[in-house]
Structure 1
Amino acid sequence: MPLKSGDLLRVVAPSGRLRNRTALDRGIEIWRDRGYRVEVTEEIVASWGYLAGKDAARRKQLATAWSDPECRGILYARGGYGGMRLLEHWQWDLAAVPKWSIGFSDITALLWSLSHQGIAGIHGPLLTTLADEPDWSIDRLFQLVSGQPVPPLQGDPWVGNVAYGKLLPCNLTVATHLLGTPWQPDVTGAILAIEDVTEAPYRIDRLLTHWRLTGALAKIAGVAIGRFSQCDPPEGSSSFTVEEVLRDRLTDLDIPIVANLPFGHDGCNAALPVGVAAILDGNTGELSIV
C-alpha cells in the first residue's frame, strides 16, 4: 500500500552500531519534512561490540515495528553487519499488515528474506546516508513509496538483448551468504542488481564463482551492475581490476548485462524496489521498473 503524509514509520537498527547520530537525525528530518511521523527510541544507540545491541534486543526492535498495526514502514538506521544474525530463530509475522522496509547494504538480508515471503521492499538509502543523496535520488525514493512511477536508470550496456523479470537488488557479499539458506528468494528468471564496497577483486571473483558453482547464476535473466566502490586491488599487487572480474565472471552467461548504474555505496544510491517486475535493456543500458 502506498505511503501517504501522516503515516507512522519506525526506526530500527538491526545491524551495525550507530556511529553518527547527526547523520541519522538528518535522515529522519527529511522524512518528517515530507509529512511522515517518524518514531525513534533510544534503543537505537545501543551497542554490543560492532552490533547495535544483542541479537535478542535487535530482534525485539524489528518484531515490535513489524507487528505494530499503526506502523506503515520501517526505516533502517544503518548497515554494517548483523542483519543476517536476526534471521536465525526468526519468522516474519505474515498475519501482520505488511510494511515498507527501506535500506541497503547489510539490510539485503532482511529485504531478501521478505521477498522470499512475497513481500516487496526498497533497496535504497539508509537514514544515515539519505541526506547525502542528490535531490533527484531523494525524490525517486519518495515517488516509489507513494506509488508513483519512476524514470528508468541509465547505465552502460555490456551484453545486449532485453530481460523481463523480478528485480532483486542486493549487496553481493550479503546475498551470496544467503544462497542455500531458507531465506534465499527464488532467483529463477530474476534480474539480479548487484553492488558492493571494500571487496578486493579476487573476493568479488570468489563471490561470483560461488554463484556459478551453485547453479544460481545460470537461472537469472539479466544482471544490473551498480557501484563497486573501494574495490581496487592492493597497490603494487598483481591483480585484475574489479571490472575485469565482473566481465570475466558474467559476460559469458549470454544474458543482458548493464553496468555503471547509479546505485550502491559511496555515491548516488538510486532506490530500487525488491521483488517487483522490471525490464533490463542490454541494448540501450536502461533499467526500468514496470
Structure 2
Amino acid sequence: MPAKILPPPLKPGDLLRVIAPSGALREFEAFERSIEIWRSRGYKLEIIPKIDDKWGYLAGTDENRRQQLAAAWQDPDCRGILCARGGFGSTRILEDWNWPNSGLPKWLIGFSDITALLWSLYTAGISGVHGPVLTTLVDEPDWSIQRLLDWVEGSSFTPLKGCGWGGGVVNGTLLPGNLTVATHLLGTPILPHLDGVILALEDVTEAPYRIDRMLTQWRLSGALSKVCGIALGGFTRCEAPPTVPSFSVEEVLRDRLGDLGIPIVSDLPFGHDSPNAALPVGVEVTLDGDAGILAIAHPHY
C-alpha cells in the first residue's frame, strides 16, 4: 500500500481549528486546560461557535457537525483540526461525505470515536494522528504531549515498547483506532483496504465478552487474514463484574488473536487511559513481535 500524504509540518503561529464532530462536550475544565497547552506552544486556536451545543448525546445536529468539519477543512488559513472529544457521532456525518479539495492537506488529531474520521481520511490518501483529544490532552504525561507535538512539527518518534507475543518482525502500514468504532466500519465504504496493514487497536469499558464478539466478527469477516501484524494498546476498565463468570480481557485477546501466525505486540502505551502515545495513520512502521517494539519511520514531507 503506498505511503499516505503527510500534511506540512506545523509551526508556532499556525492557526488550528477546534471542532466537536462527535459527542457533546462535558469536560469543560480539561478542555480549557488542553487548549492552553497548544496556545502556550505558540499556536492560534479558533474554537467553533457553540462548542458546547447539544443534540441529545451529540454535539449538535449531524448537519451542524458536518458543516464544522467541512468549514475547517476548507479554510485556507487553517493548518490543523483538533477534535474536542470522542463519544459517538462521527460516523453519522460520514454518510455521503467526500473530503473537499482544500489545496494543502491539514492535520486531523483525535482518537476514540474520531477513528472513523481518521480512517475515512486515510482512504482519501491523507495521514492524520491518532492521539489525545482536547478533553484528555491535559492528563497526558509530558513525554506524550511532546511526542504529539514532535510528530506534527516534523520530528521523528522514539519506538514504543510493549509485550511481544512472538511472530518475528514485519514492516507494514500503521492503522490505529478504537476497536469498537473500527468494528462498526466493517462492511462499509469507510473501511480501508487492509492488505499489508499493521492494526493498532485499543478500547475502554467493554466487557470481555464484547471484546470477544468484536474480534470474532473480525475473524469471520476475513479482515484479520489480510493484516500483517497487530499492535495492542490499553484495554482499560474492561473487567467483567466480579459475580459474572468470565475470561479476562487478556485471555480473550490471546484466544482470538494468538493463532493468526503474525507478529503481535500488546501492552503498548496508547489508548483511553493515560498515556495515550500519538500514532500517525498510514505511515510505514516496523513491528517486532519478539522484542515487543513498534518503531515508526521518520516522517517524509
Instruction: Answer yes or no: same fold by TM over 0.5.
Output: yes
SS for the counterpart of 2:165 is strand
The equivalent residue for 1:24 is 31
Is residue 109–residue 131 contact of structure 2 (8 Å, CA) maintained in 1?
yes
The equivalent residue for 1:284 is 291
Residues 147-172 of structure 1 deviation map (CA, whole Å, 9 limit, x = unaligned)? 10110000010123011110000000
Is residue 287–residue 293 contact of structure 2 (8 Å, CA) maintained in 1?
yes
Is residue 48–residue 68 contact of structure 2 (8 Å, CA) maintained in 1?
no
2:192 maps to 1:173: no
The equivalent residue for 2:212 is 205
1:1-290 maps to which residues of 2 (within 5 A)? 1-290=8-297
Is residue 201–residue 241 contact of structure 1 (8 Å, CA) maintained in 2?
yes
Q: For the aligned residues, what is the CA RMSD? A: 0.8
SS for the counterpart of 1:234 is coil
Is residue 155–residue 259 contact of structure 1 (8 Å, CA) maintained in 2?
yes
Is residue 66–residue 96 contact of structure 1 (8 Å, CA) maintained in 2?
no
Output the CA distance in 1 between the equivalents of 2:192 and 2:167. 26
Is residue 168–residue 191 contact of structure 1 (8 Å, CA) maintained in 2?
yes
Is residue 234–residue 268 contact of structure 2 (8 Å, CA) maintained in 1?
yes
- Number of aligned residues: 290
| Structure 1 residue 23 displacement after superposition | 1.1
SS for the counterpart of 1:43 is coil
Is residue 141–residue 274 contact of structure 2 (8 Å, CA) maintained in 1?
no
Normalised to the residue count of structure 2, the TM-score between the two structures is 0.95
Greater mean alpha carbon deviation, residues 212-221 or residues 95-104: 95-104
Match for 2:145: what amino acid? I
Output the CA distance in 1 between the equivalents of 2:19 and 2:197. 29
Is residue 16–residue 79 contact of structure 1 (8 Å, CA) maintained in 2?
yes
Structure 2: gaps (5+ residues)? 1-7
Residues 102-161 of structure 1 deviation map (CA, whole Å, 9 limit, x = unaligned)? 000000000000011111000000011001000000000000001101100000101230
| Structure 1 residue 73 displacement after superposition | 0.3
SS for the counterpart of 1:56 is helix
SS for the counterpart of 2:37 is helix
SS for the counterpart of 1:192 is strand
Match for 1:250: what amino acid? L
Match for 1:112: what amino acid? W
Residues 173-210 of structure 1 deviation map (CA, whole Å, 9 limit, x = unaligned)? 00011111111111111000000011111100111111
Output the CA distance in 2 between the equivalents of 1:204 and 1:96. 40
Output the CA distance in 2 between the equivalents of 1:96 and 1:197. 37
Is residue 160–residue 257 contact of structure 1 (8 Å, CA) maintained in 2?
yes
Greater mean alpha carbon deviation, residues 232-241 or residues 169-178: 232-241
SS for the counterpart of 1:27 is helix
Output the CA distance in 2 between the equivalents of 1:45 and 1:96. 30
Output the CA distance in 1 between the equivalents of 2:99 and 2:61. 19
Output the CA distance in 1 between the equivalents of 2:199 and 2:224. 9
| Structure 1 residue 95 displacement after superposition | 4.3
Structure 1: gaps (5+ residues)? none
Is residue 159–residue 251 contact of structure 1 (8 Å, CA) maintained in 2?
no
The equivalent residue for 2:4 is none
